[in-house]
Amino acid sequence: MPTVLVLNGPNLNLLGRREPELYGDVTLARLEALCRAAGSAHGLEVDFRQSNHEGALIDAIHEPGPDGIVINAGGYSHTSVALRDALAAVALPTVEVHLTNVHRREPYRHRSLVSEVADAVICGAGPHGYALALTHLAYLLGGKDR
């Protein structure tokens, strides 16, 4: 069974409490359950993680094991060359996810360094964006939806 690393960056541990008018009321725990269900439906094992620390996110990307990555790098999407380079170095199928439509937000959010190395980008679909990302990774990995 292919394994997908679902990686969440800074402040996503505050989902459900942080700016609910933007991010809704879904907690990180509920998001993890959604990802596990979506992954299972597509024959994927999900390794779900969150960190507020750039180095911990990079270390997770470097670990052997995953066949693909879903990443919501949060604010690091727009600032971290190191995170972008880690994704490029492992060269795994990658889908970038954002809960909000970053293109309808502040101008500094319109450019993502992660997008430069991602196979696809899903933004503005809320928590469902993660399920869409896992569906696309199943396709990229030759799973049930191919």
Residues serving a catalytic function are 23, 98
SS3 content of the chain, % helix, strand, coil (to 5): 45, 20, 35
Pairwise CA distance, residues 16 & 1, whole Å = 31
Nearest to residue 114, comparing CAs of 126, 124, 123?
123
Phi, psi of 83 (to 5 degrees): -65, -45
Nearest to residue 118, comparing CAs of 38, 61, 65?
61
